[in-house]
């Protein structure tokens, strides 16, 4: 097995990780990524196979669980009740309860409000140069999440601050300052949600928190800690990813000059899938081996981690013709951006809905939209999102 060396915080890699991915796909199904200290999969077929292989999972084997540092206790408490890091039978129960509340009807009912929100945000665009990431790409998902959960939209700045601080724990550049900020955010977010959930128990409304409280599966309901963990996951995973999916999409459409045709009613679904394939917001997801197992000629021991490079799998030329090119006319073929197997992203329908609405409205309302500065990506790997998106309308 080849050993590869690539710092995830190297500025050239942060701006364009795809040449590294292309080199690694030629090395075989698996390679050892020295900086992460783990085996990594870069090809589409390898990533897809491991996403669906039940001998691997997200939950750390119990014998490897250690006490976390005291200063991270609030953040670790949220993580302990996260659907994202659970496996059956706990995952089965939690996901079933979430899906009883997070229905396709509940998601589709948000569409008219998202359309109105997009128009309102565009009405407020300033003259001259401005940062579309802050003015639009961030606001659509976070306000939508507020409405979905049923929390006041005035909470959006707090939700953003908490979310950014907590997801920074997954970034390669994590520092003690990052950890302190994440613990503080987790504590504040948990305190807010605990109080808000108590209010909803006594005053039910037509919102996701109320539906999560009411959801029941085989005689059991979500505990308050599970409700808190689920709401935070929906914000952190759903909001952060969708912000960058929209922003990366706008950048790509502007740079390739494909906006108008690609966003027509009969083309939008293909375009959304191509954006998610071409430049997804999440590039790496990990799994633990649950037994001693040989796959792709490598022997994993129980507890070994494997990194699944979603961003690399999506540009595999063995699957997609001209894989390094953005082609919104490309027939839809399943990519890995929303994961796979039993951990397939529960928020994927909402993310797709927001992109299908936000992108066409933006380009229809702002037909002369153009970049005024070369967009740059933030140093936040394994996420892949812009630091800013300076435009003029």
Say how many residues make up the chain.
Answer: 393
Residue 219: other Cβ atoms inside 10 A: 5
Confidence of residue 299 (pLDDT cuts 50, 70, 90): very high
pLDDT value, residue 39: 98
Lowest-confidence region among 75-84, 129-138, 290-299, 364-373: 75-84
326 Cβ contact partners less than 8 Å away, ≥ 6 residues apart: 252, 256, 258, 274, 278, 279
65 against 15, higher pLDDT: 15
Residue 94: other Cβ atoms inside 10 A: 23
Enter the tokens of residue 64: 């490897």
**In whole angstroms, what is the distance from residue 140 CA to residue 118 CA?**
7
Strand pairing partners for 295? 298
Phi and psi at 304, nearest 5°, equal -65, 145
Give the angle 345-281-339 at the CA atoms, nearest 5°.
30
- Domains identified in the chain, total number: 1
Confidence of residue 65 (pLDDT cuts 50, 70, 90): confident
Strand pairing partners for 294? 299
Whether 19 shows a pLDDT value over 90: the answer reads yes
Whether 255 shows a pLDDT value over 80: the answer reads yes
The three-state DSSP-derived secondary structure of the chain is CEEECCCCCCHHHHHCCHHHHHHHHCCCCEEEECCCCEEEECCHHHHHHHHHCCCEECCCCHHHCCCCCHHHHHHHHHHHCCHHHCCCCHHHHHHHHHHHHCCHHHHHCCHHHHHHHHHHHHHCCCCCCEEHHHHHHCHHHHHHHHHHHCCCHHHHHHHHHHHHHHHHHHCCCCCHHHHHHHHHHHHHHHHHHHHHHHHHHHCCCCCHHHHHHHCCECCECCCHHHHHHHHHHHHHHHHHHHHHHHHHHHHHHHHHCCHHHHCCCCCHHHHHHHHHHHCCCECEEEEEECCCEEECCEEECCCCEEEEEHHHHCCCCCCCCCCCCCCCCCCCCCCCCCCCHHHCCCCHHHHHHHHHHHHHHHHHHCCCCEECCCCEECCCCCECCEEECEEEC
User: 159 is in which domain, residue-wise?
Assistant: 2-392
Whether 106 shows a pLDDT value over 90: the answer reads no
The answer to whether the beta carbons of residues 278 and 255 sit under 8 Å apart is no
Average pLDDT over every residue of 375-380: 96
pLDDT in tens, 344-355: 999 899 999 999
The answer to whether the beta carbons of residues 370 and 392 sit under 8 Å apart is yes
Confidence of residue 259 (pLDDT cuts 50, 70, 90): confident
Rounded to the nearest integer, the mean pLDDT of the chain is: 93
pLDDT value, residue 217: 64
* Ramachandran quadrant class, 327 (left: phi over 0; alpha: psi -120 to 50; beta: rest): beta
**In whole angstroms, what is the distance from residue 86 CA to residue 95 CA?**
10
Which among 29, 34, 33, 58 is positioned nearest to 46, based on CA atoms?
29
What percent of the chain is modeled with pLDDT above 90?
Answer: 78
pLDDT in tens, 23-53: 999 989 999 999 999 999 999 999 999 999 9
Average pLDDT over every residue of 77-99: 90
pLDDT value, residue 66: 86
pTM for the complete prediction?
0.94
Confidence of residue 237 (pLDDT cuts 50, 70, 90): confident
pLDDT value, residue 275: 97
Q: Any idea what the CATH number is for the domain that residue 28 is in? A: 1.10.630.10
pLDDT in tens, 110-121: 999 999 999 999
**In whole angstroms, what is the distance from residue 248 CA to residue 389 CA?**
9
pLDDT in tens, 179-232: 999 999 999 999 999 999 999 999 998 888 998 888 876 678 888 999 999 889
Q: Quote the radius of gyration of the chain (alpha carbons, Å).
A: 21
């Amino acid at each position: 097995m080849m050993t590869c060396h690539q710092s995830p915080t190297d500025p050239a890699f942060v701006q364009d990780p795809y040449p590294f991915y292309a080199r690694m796909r030629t090395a075989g199904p698996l390679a050892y990524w020295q900086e992460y200290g783990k085996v990594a999969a870069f090809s589409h077929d390898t990533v897809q196979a491991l996403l669906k292989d039940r001998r691997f999972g997200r939950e750390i084997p119990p014998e490897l669980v250690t006490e976390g540092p005291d200063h991270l206790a609030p953040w670790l408490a949220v993580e302990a009740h996260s659907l994202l890091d659970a496996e059956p039978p706990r995952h089965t129960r939690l996901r079933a309860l979430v899906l009883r509340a997070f229905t396709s009807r509940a998601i589709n009912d948000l569409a008219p409000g998202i359309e109105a929100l997009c128009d309102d945000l565009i009405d407020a665009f300033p003259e001259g140069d401005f940062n579309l990431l802050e003015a639009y790409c961030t606001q659509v998902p976070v306000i939508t999440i507020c409405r979905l959960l049923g929390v006041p939209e005035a909470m959006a700045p707090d939700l953003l601050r908490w979310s950014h601080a907590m997801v920074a724990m997954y970034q390669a550049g994590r520092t003690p300052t990052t950890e302190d900020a994440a613990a503080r955010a987790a504590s504040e977010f948990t305190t807010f949600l605990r109080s808000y959930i108590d209010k909803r128990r006594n005053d039910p409304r037509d919102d996701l928190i109320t539906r999560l409280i009411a959801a029941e599966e085989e005689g059991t309901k979500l505990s308050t800690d599970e409700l808190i963990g689920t709401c935070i996951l929906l914000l952190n995973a759903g909001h952060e990813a969708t912000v960058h999916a929209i922003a990366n999409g706008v950048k790509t459409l502007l740079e390739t000059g494909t906006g108008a045709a690609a966003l027509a009613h009969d083309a939008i679904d293909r375009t959304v899938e191509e954006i998610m394939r071409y430049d997804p917001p999440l590039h790496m997801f990990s799994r633990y081996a649950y037994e001693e197992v040989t796959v792709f000629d490598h022997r994993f021991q129980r507890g070994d981690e494997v990194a699944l490079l979603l961003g690399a799998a999506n540009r595999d030329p063995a699957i997609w013709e001209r894989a390094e090119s953005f082609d919104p006319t490309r027939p839809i073929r399943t990519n890995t951006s929303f994961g796979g197997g039993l951990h397939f992203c529960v928020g994927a329908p909402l993310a797709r809905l927001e992109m299908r609405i936000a992108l066409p409205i933006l380009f229809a309302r702002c037909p002369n939209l153009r970049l005024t500065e070369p967009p740059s990506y933030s140093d936040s790997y394994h996420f892949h999102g812009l630091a800013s998106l300076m435009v003029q309308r």
